[in-house]
Amino acid sequence: MSPAFWIILTASVAAAACALVGCFLVLRRMAMLGDAISHAVLPGIAIAFLLSNSRAPLPMLLGASALGLLTAMLTELLHRGGRLQQDASIGVTFTWLFAVGVILISLFAGQVDLDQECVLYGEIAYVPWDTWTTSGGRSLGPRALWILGFALVFNATWILLAWKELKICAFDPELAASLGIPVAAFHYLLMGATSITTVTAFESVGAILVVAMIVGPAATAYLLTDRLGHMLAIAVGLGVASATLGYGLARALDCSIAGAMAVVIGVLFALAFLFSPSHGLVPRAWHQRRLADDVRAGRAGPIVGQSPDAA
């Protein structure tokens, strides 16, 4: 199979896995925490590299997940214990951890098979050549695809298993708490899943473009539907579409594949922002104008319903 096929497939799986957690982050208004975690896993990855001396996925996943949870907890600690406002505690925590990660990588540049630029925009172009082969020498496809596939299955599983609880937590945490749902546990589940998704996607698309994959399709889907199930499905679809179109764009312009995917994600969002039938700027303005015309022409029906006393 052609390299292009593997790249698009890998990016699509990454985008789908990101979109699933992204929907919940957007609904819980924690998108910036996703951004923070995607930066903060870097020292975890660097330390795992240094200790295990390899790109083996397990130590990397462990290191990154630990740092992801550490970020969530440090942010909470600065906010509660240090009385620092929420946005600033996120800002201080993740910039510091990311800085430490970059320093570690540049200090041990010789030992770590990672460079500063790969951290930012990933190495998806090399994915097809880094394959897993059985002892018999049979190729099983790109290693990154397997790892990202694991993240996708993991996310789909926990979302399906805890569907009802997640839904209540996403829209009404107070109600969830009063129903006895362990809201804090679900918060950390989401943080943990964000860390795992981020680190698996990190190698392919880099720290900052992971954020585009997490937030972009989810925010776009949020403008297109009012139902959680639909939102997840649309976000996954948009993620796959951005991966495919982004690859085409990158080939056409001969530029970074991950960067092009982020640009497509931005364009899709802009389209939904302007033209979404239910929430878009243009349809809403058009409706308003038609309504104004109707009112002026005396054609408007009862808008809010006349009160019974007036009748």
Partner 1 sequence: MNASFDWGALLGDANVRSVLLGSMLLGAGAGVLGCFTFLRKRALLGDALAHATLPGVCLAFLVTGSKHPFVLLVGATITGWLGVAAVNVITKRSRIKDDAALALTLSVFFGFGIVLLTRIQKTGAAAQAGLDKFLFGQAASLVPADVLLLGGVTVVLLACVVLAFKEFKLLAFDPQFAATIGRPVGALDFLLNTLTVLSVTVGLQAVGVVLMAAMLVTPAAAARYWTDRLPVMLVLAGTIGALAGAIGAVVSMTAPRMPTGPWTVVAATALFAVSLVAAPRRGVVARTLRRWRTRRRVAEENVLKTLYHLGESDGVWDAPRKASDVSGRRRAKTAGVASVLPRLANAGWVERTGEAWRLTRAGLDRARRVVRLHRLWEVYLTERLHLAADHVHDDAEEIEHILTPELEAQLEAALARPRFDPHRQQIPYDAPVPASAAEPTVVP
Binding residues vs partner 1 (CB under 8 A):
26, 29-35, 78, 81-85, 87-92, 95-96, 98-100, 102-103, 106, 116-117, 120-121, 208-209, 211-212, 214-216, 218-219, 222-223, 250, 253-256, 258-263, 265-266, 269, 273, 279, 281
Q: Counting beta carbons within 10 angstroms of the beta carbon of residue 42, is it exposed (0 to 12), middle (13 to 18) or buried (19 or more)?
A: buried
Take residue 100 and report the two structure tokens written for it. Answer: 């430490």
Which residue's CB is nearer to partner 1, number 143 or number 256? 256
For 8, 208, 263, the CA distances from 106, given in Å and listed in that order, are 30, 19, 29
Q: Apex CA 134: angle with CA 129 and CA 140, to 5°?
A: 50
Which residue's CB is nearer to partner 1, number 103 or number 175? 103
Distance, C-alpha 171 to centroid of its chain: 19
In whole angstroms, how close is the CB of 160 to partner 1 at the nearest point? 24
Take residue 229 and report the two structure tokens written for it. Answer: 């199930």
In whole angstroms, how close is the CB of 299 to partner 1 at the nearest point? 28
In whole angstroms, how close is the CB of 173 to partner 1 at the nearest point? 15
In angstroms, the CA 144 to CA 153 distance is 14
Nearest Cα neighbor of 49 from 69, 32, 67, 35 is: 67
How far separated are the first and last CA of the chain, in Å rounded? 73
Which residue's CB is nearer to partner 1, number 191 or number 218? 218
Which residue's CB is nearer to partner 1, number 199 or number 218? 218
In whole angstroms, how close is the CB of 36 to partner 1 at the nearest point? 9
In whole angstroms, how close is the CB of 113 to partner 1 at the nearest point? 18
In whole angstroms, how close is the CB of 263 to partner 1 at the nearest point? 5
Which residue's CB is nearer to partner 1, number 17 or number 78? 78
Dmax (CA) for the chain in angstroms is: 85
Which residue's CB is nearer to partner 1, number 144 or number 211? 211
Take residue 203 and report the two structure tokens written for it. Answer: 């190698």
In angstroms, the CA 2 to CA 24 distance is 35
